[in-house]
Structure 1
Amino acid sequence: MPDSSTRDGSSALPKGFQGAKRWLNQLVDFEKTRLRRFSAVEMKLERMQKLMHALGNPQDSVRCIHVAGTNGKGSVSHMVDNMMRGIGYTVGRYTSPHLTDVRERIAVGGMEIDKTAFGDVITKVAEAAQGIDFEPTFFEALTAAAFVHFEAEAVDLAVIEVGLGGRLDCTNIIHPVLTIITKLDIDHAPILGDTLAKIAAEKAGIMKSGAPCFTLQQEPEALEALEARAKEVGCDLYVLGREIEFSRRFGTEDDKGSHCRICVIRDDRQYMHIPAPAPGEHQAINTGLAIAVVDELRQSEFTGDEQGMLEKLAQTDFPGRMELIHPAPRIIGDGAHNPSAIGAFIRSIGGHIPFDSMVCVIGCCEDKDIDGILTEAARGGDKFFFTKAKSNPRAADPRDLQRRFQELSGKMSQVADDLPTALLEASKAVGRDDIICVIGSYYLAGEAKQWLADRRAAKEAAATPS
């Protein structure tokens, strides 16, 4: 490993926020690397253990919840974070990927890490990395930085989202108070396996002896794999709708419009007719899972007020999940990036947002189930613009997407070489009551959000008298 923080051989440590970003960006970033089976060296937890040892093992000072799954990890993480803060605790949250700013990944008290603190923790990680025999990856370095920050902030609890899989993910160096496994589906098959049973086994790798695991109803082969792992390690497995009584109903009210209400019952504790803070049946289920988790915590050392918990739940933000990123024309960004997530998005839009016509700006990674994504998108979209995120080398060629789409659907479609062109052309194609949906990738949704924000800022600046 080079004994420096830069590619040019300099031994200088990064300084400040911009220096921290430059140091991170020269590291290997598997999030933006064409998917393949990583080598045994790349996926060894010993790498992360060495780096954390060099930092003094800050993760051992932090009580954690570990969250894995295919879809819903971020939503559940945000809801658990909010509810635990609502009952009076200081909570850290580590999630990925980010939409527009890398600092989004590390938050305490609902606020992303500030630039000064980010520069400081990345410098500490870079300094520690000089003392080990390998260069950390982008994700390893950020994960280490999160734990350094959470220890410094003396958080009461940290919600840690898995990056990829679970068993060999670099976050899997913690000893959590409990674990969560959200909805499982086929994704990252070249690494995690091509069946639900194989994927579930990888995700179940976060289970630890004595730490209860909470999940929701899964396909039988996935649930069987989770149950086998729970029995092997010696942890209790609680399934929403099985060990935990759960129900949901869809309704319309004057003050809330169309929404889902849920009921969660555990022993003599009842959470009745709670409004889900985000639209969609899938989010109602995620809400039930999050409430069950916080209920479990409240029965142990994390006591607190139910009213504050539910008030804070209602205030949860869901960045990149059915997020209105531009008001007129209405543009909604969503990071849905596999068939089941796209399907859930389309159903949620249809059930909760009135519109005449839906125009989809879509781009996805080349290693995804592209035909499945396009099939689900075609169920709701009326016209399609295929493009790609410029920040992602894994992005599929939009011309290939259009070709495959035409084989699956007879709906209108165009190709745009870049996202701004796609957004401008889509805006010309909609009327006042139509919507534009940017879907298929977090990278695409994030770039759209940033480009639109920059464009609005430029217009405001131009309109302001000098």
Structure 2
Amino acid sequence: MGKNYSIKKYHRAVDFIEGMAGLYTQHGVRKERKNKIYKEFLQKLGKPQNDYKIIHVTGTAGKGSVCSQIHAALVKAGYNAGLYLSPHTTSAVERIKLNDRYIPAEAFYNILDKIKPTFNKVAIPPDFFGIIVAIAFQYFSEEKCDYVVLEVGAGGQYDHTNVIPSPVIAIATNVGHDHTEYLGKTLVEIARHKAGIIKKHCTFITSDNNPKVLKIFKDRCKKVNAKYIHVNPNGAHYTDINTKVAQKAIDVLGVDVKINKSLVEKSSRLPCRQEIIQKKPTIMLDGAHNPSKMNALISTIKKVARPDYLIIGISANKDWRRILKTIVPHAKKIILTKYVASRRTTVSPIKMKKYINKHFPSRKPIIYWDPLDALRDVIKKSKKDDFILITGSMYLTGELRTYWIPEENILQYRSSFKNGNSNGHQ
């Protein structure tokens, strides 16, 4: 079977899965009932999510880094370890990792073909997220994983990942405002959703410091007889806090690995997470899509330089006004754009421009309707010592990342980096 045929079949599989987006919504399935239906589907598959020990991680910011550090430590200790991350940036395979490589494209579409006959054995088949999670569960089962580190997509209680039995460890990095359209407007409401991953007799770890949030977590732990551990941030930088949380999880597991600087650098190098994709000019990709993540990004770029160019596009369901209010003062020239992803709606660049003109009248933002045109023009105009920041959405940064690394490379090398190398800049 040729490489082109394999890639073509993979793309068709992804198209099929994307075509299932919103299926539960179309059938009026309430969030409280969604996971009951999804569990029935997984039961027909043989409950693959029960075949390994799970570390389940939620949080508004930092959960991807915490997941990756725990996973890297488990791999270093010699365990066969799976990692599920959400969302992906460029290719769906980026969500599913075994040890140091993504799921092969062939395994991805073969597992999809294997589970599709089950769709007609349940009242409603799984939607986009349910299918991706099911592929991950099945892959990790077939590969006989010892541990799986599982990142929550949104919230916790009603997330597709929350169909697992009690995890060995549940983690909530922190609680901030994101996905407020269905998690709630207040931190207490959001915390209740995230507390939904705390199950009987597991160990729960958090680094949040809000007393009201911590009360929600403590009450939940008491109710299900889970052990509660608080990692005090003590004013540390968010990257150090993430490492403290990951190390605490590894210690609880009894794994004799220290998460040192080298392991942090290797594991935390994720696509579109404060990623320097090019030098001369310096170009950073960061998928910050809520105020918490944007503040974390700003704390980093202050150490680099003030962006000479900001290219930004934001999903319509995000708190885009607060995001703009947070980042606009830190950039010299502002380019507003949208992304091409069909499953998500971008805030109109016209609306963003009106907001900036009203609140930052000295700025003169420019609109590009095609983000690739924006990138090419900015690179053409920039000087070698300029700093270009692309942010606002994983969808935007993931699409533009293909300017340097095509999806075919990711599928071939099973890595987001050139030639499968996860070290060093591009």
Q: Give the TM-score normalised by the residue count of structure 1.
A: 0.80
| Aligned with residue 363 of structure 2, among 392, 411, 421 | 411
Shift of 1:329: 2.3
Asked if 1:289 corresponds to 2:245, the answer is yes
1:55 aligns with 45
2:318 aligns with 368
2:388 aligns with 436
Shift of 1:424: 2.1
1:425 to 1:221, Cα distance in 2 relative to 1, 3 A: farther
- More deviation in 312-321 or 69-78? 312-321
1:399 aligns with 350
CA contact (8 A) 2:63 2:173 kept: yes
Q: Which amino acid aligns with 1:290?
A: A
Shift of 1:429: 4.0
Bigger Rg, structure 1 or 2: 1
CA contact (8 A) 1:104 1:112 kept: yes
Shift of 1:379: 3.2
- More deviation in 326-335 or 183-192? 326-335
Secondary structure of the 2:175 match is coil
Deviations 1:371-394 (A, max 9, x none): 210111023211110001110532
Question: How far apart, in 2, do the equivalents of 1:151 and 1:389 lie?
Answer: 35
CA RMSD, aligned part only? 2.4
Shift of 1:20: 2.1
Q: Larger strand proportion, structure 1 or 2?
A: 1
2:412 aligns with none
Secondary structure of the 1:22 match is helix
Shift of 1:335: 0.9
Question: How far apart, in 1, do the equivalents of 2:250 and 2:45 lie?
Answer: 31
Shift of 1:29: 4.7
Q: Larger helix proportion, structure 1 or 2?
A: 2
Secondary structure of the 1:20 match is helix
Shift of 1:228: 1.9
Shift of 1:135: 2.2
Q: Give the TM-score normalised by the residue count of structure 2.
A: 0.87
Deviations 1:106-155 (A, max 9, x none): 11012100011111111122122122121210100111111110011011
CA contact (8 A) 1:356 1:433 kept: no
Which structure 2 residues correspond to residues 88-167 of structure 1 after superposition, within 5 A? 88-167=78-157
1:226 aligns with 217
Shift of 1:100: 0.7
- What number of residue pairs does the alignment pair up? 396
Deviations 1:150-176 (A, max 9, x none): 011011100011112111111111121
CA contact (8 A) 1:51 1:129 kept: yes
Report % sequence identity: 31
Q: Which amino acid aligns with 2:200?
A: S
1:425 aligns with 377
Question: How far apart, in 2, do the equivalents of 1:450 and 1:118 lie?
Answer: 21
Secondary structure of the 2:276 match is strand
Which structure 2 residues correspond to residues 54-73 of structure 1 after superposition, within 5 A? 54-73=44-63
Shift of 1:307: 5.5
Shift of 1:83: 1.0
CA contact (8 A) 1:166 1:206 kept: yes
Secondary structure of the 1:384 match is strand
CA contact (8 A) 2:55 2:167 kept: yes
**Unaligned stretches of 5+ in structure 1?**
1-14, 250-280, 458-466
Secondary structure of the 2:403 match is helix
Deviations 1:186-219 (A, max 9, x none): 1111100000000000000000111011110332
Q: Which amino acid aligns with 1:296?
A: V
CA contact (8 A) 1:336 1:441 kept: yes
Question: How far apart, in 1, do the equivalents of 2:306 and 2:193 lie?
Answer: 42
Question: How far apart, in 2, do the equivalents of 1:357 and 1:228 lie?
Answer: 44
1:21 aligns with 14
Deviations 1:321-366 (A, max 9, x none): 1011233322111010011211210121112x2x464311001011
Question: How far apart, in 1, do the equivalents of 2:396 and 2:188 lie?
Answer: 30
CA contact (8 A) 2:306 2:332 kept: no
